[in-house]
Amino acid sequence: MFTVRRWWDRYGPRFFVTGLVLAAALFLRQTQGAFVSELYYRMVQSFQPGPTPQERWADARVSELETKLVNIEQQNQKLQELLDYTETYQGELIAAPVIGRSVDHWWKQVTLGRGSTSGIKTGYVVSSPGGLVGRVIKVTPNTSRVLLASDPTSKVGGKIARNNFMGYIRGEGSDTAVMEFFDKVPDVKPGDKIVTSPVSYLFPAGIPIGTVETVDLEKSPAPEVVVKFTAPFDYLEWVVVHPFESRL
Amino acid sequence: MLRFLDFSPRFRSFCNWLIVVGSILLCLMILPTRLPGTELLGIRPNWLLIWVVVWSVKRNAYQGAIAGIALGLIQDGLTAFDGVPMVDGIMPPNFEGSEGSTTDLLLSYPSHVITLMLVGILTAKIQKQRYIQEDFISIALIVFGMAVVAETITAIQYSIQGLRNITLVWTEHQRIALSSAILSSLWAPVLYYPLNRWWEYMSDRDQSL
């Protein structure tokens, strides 16, 4: 008893403080830093950018429209056949400013300045002028965290806009990504537009993703194609959030 | 106020906690921003790592480890995606691939806890008195080394879990480790100078009483 008492007298306060610190940190871990995100939102609110910088995105916008057009032409041709073709966008779109970047270089995420009070939910899909940006992975009342399509853990089901060859696009941490096809010999050439595929669980069909840069059909086990994202990940300032329930 | 600070140890210790928590919050607030001058090739300084180094440099390994674990947990929270289906399940009609529809990445994801804990312990274990002078340059050097160590540990974690393409991880590692080490070491004095002044003042006062 005495030794316990002496131990406590000596190490008790330290033990207590350590426990407190770790408990606080664990709390932040479990809530995925919701408190920090909210605080950050309050901080940057005064530095918010004004209206959208339209000019800078003019090029990206044109590219997006081109991609959409190719897709729609193809969609028109095959509308009767594609009975399971789902609605591209459902519900009302939410515009949101990008207020922060990922807190670690290995992760490709952005923080948006709108959250559950604006109706955003986890799993909603984010796009910008240019095309697909990513998916909402965490929502707090005023902020939401988005996993970019360029993150190496992100896999997006995609297809070539002008035909139906499908595959998935794996982020590489930069503004290009690798697309792997399911078919052995897909009909693909540089310049092809890639859109999200209609069989993807996590994304609505038909959102432009990028343009094919190089093609390597010899790659084993599946042909590999380098895709350049049309969304300007480095200059994102405003994005659009599409309500979407994942089909899982 | 200053007089009061001088003579009341309780108030001083309260202020110390305020400064510690405040400086961590400040780091957390700077982390997602892109302040001009803090970016090199799209990489920004690792503020939490700087904080852990500044904290551990004059403390023992135990204190360094606890700080590393705590900040690691917080950073894990800020990057985590708990319970979110991650890998897009694409089911082509006749593709017998190995891609699962969803994968729970929670456990297999690299953690900042290990990284920052090791940084804390290593920094505390460096025998500064013997090898390195106590000044800005040495802090910058330690931060440089620790940033490289930290990114390497992350890269090793990625390589072990095999979620990413390994060659990609290591090319990325070169880019990230170098830029992050340079930037972090250049920005380290910004955090080190005020905190060190405060802690020196604290220990002066505590000893004189």
Nearest-CB residue to B79 (from A22, A30, A103): A103
Helix axes B9-30, A34-44, angle to 10 degrees: 80
Instruction: Give pLDDT tens digits for B67-91.
Output: 888 888 888 888 877 666 655 554 4
Q: Is A11 a domain residue?
A: no
Instruction: Please give, rounded to a whole number of angstroms, the shortest distance from the CA of B113 to a CA of chain A.
Output: 11
Low-confidence spans in chain A with pLDDT less than 50:
85-86, 88-89
pLDDT of residue B160: 80
pLDDT of B28 strictly over 50 = yes
User: Does the CB of A209 have a partner CB in chain B at under 8 Å?
Assistant: no
**Closest approach of chain B CAs to the CA of A106, in angstroms?**
8
Is residue A156 assigned to a domain? Answer: yes
Kindly list the residues from chain B whose CB atom is less than 8 angstroms away from the CB atom of residue A166: 90, 92
Count structural domains, chain A. Answer: 1
Residue A139 lies in a domain: yes
CB contact under 8 A, B78 and A101: no
> What phi, psi does A97 have (nearest 5°)?
-80, 150
- Minimal C-alpha gap between B163 and chain A (Å): 7
Residue B93: the pLDDT is 36
Range of the domain at A64: 31-248
Query: Complex ipTM above 0.90?
Result: no
Cβ–Cβ gap A32/B165 under 8 Å:
no
Tokens in use for A69?
Answer: 């057009």
Beta strands in A182-221 (DSSP E): 193-196, 208-216
Read off the pLDDT of each residue in B8-33 and give the average, rounded to a whole number: 84
The verdict on whether omega for the bond into residue A129 sits within 30 degrees of 0, i.e. cis, is no
Q: How many Cβ atoms are within 10 Å of A1's Cβ, its own excluded?
A: 5
A71 within 8 A of A197, measured Cβ to Cβ: no
Convert the pLDDT of each residue in B152-176 to its tens digit. Answer: 988 888 888 766 777 778 888 888 8
Listing DSSP states for A107-167 in one string gives: --EEEES--GGGT--TT-EEEETTEEEEEEEEE-SS-EEEEETTSTT-EEEEEESSS--EE
Q: Which of B74, B101, B163 sits opposite A33 (nearest CB)?
A: B74
Q: Tell me what the pLDDT averaged over chain B comes to.
A: 77
Q: Which residues pair with A131 in a beta bridge?
A: A128
Q: Which helix (H) or strand (E) holds A139?
A: strand A131-139
Contacts of B108 (CB under 8 A, 6+ apart): B161, B163
CATH number of the domain within which A238 lies: 2.40.10.340
| d(CA A118, nearest CA chain B) in Å | 20
Domain for residue A155, yes or no? yes
> Do the Cβ atoms of A248 and B102 come closer than 8 Å?
yes
Q: Which two tokens stand for residue B137?
A: 């340059």
What single-letter amino acid sits at B197?
A: R
Tokens of A166: 């499908």
Q: Look at residue A41 and tell me if it is in a domain.
A: yes
Interchain contact, B84 vs A168, CB within 8 Å: no
Residue of B nearest to A99 (CA): B33
> Of A143, A243, A25, which Cα lies nearest the Cα of B75?
A25
Q: Quick check: A84 contacting B, CB < 8 Å?
A: no
Q: What is the pLDDT, as a whole number, of residue B100? A: 39
User: Closest to A155 (Cβ–Cβ): which among B33, B88, B158?
Assistant: B88
Using the beta-carbon criterion (under 8 Å), do B70 and A25 form an inter-chain contact? yes
Touching B: A residues 227-246, CB under 8 Å: 234, 246
CATH 1.10.1760.20 for domain B2-83+100-208? yes
